[in-house]
Amino acid sequence: MTGTGEGIPRWVKLAGIVAAVLILLVVVMMLIGGGGLGHKIPSHGGGPVSAPPATGPDGLG
């Protein structure tokens, strides 16, 4: 296929370049401490989790 003048289509090259730039951007953001995509998303509910008060079998403390 090399001698026919056909190569990788232009849209494949462009998609590869865009993907490489996005990956590089994410890596750079992680290295400089920007946090990447997970920076704004909390990893938990945001507050302390407390158990409901313990009650006996009749529902009274």
3 state DSSP class of 49: coil
* DSSP designation for 39: G
> Which residues have CB under 8 Å from 61's CB, separation 6+?
53, 54, 55
- Please indicate, yes or no, whether the overall pTM of this predicted structure exceeds 0.75: no
Give residue 8's region: left, alpha or beta (phi > 0; psi -120 to 50).
beta
Q: How confident is the model at residue 58 (pLDDT cuts 50, 70, 90)?
A: confident
Mean residue pLDDT of the chain comes to 76
Residue-level pLDDT at 44: 62
**Does the structure show a pLDDT above 50 at 16?**
yes
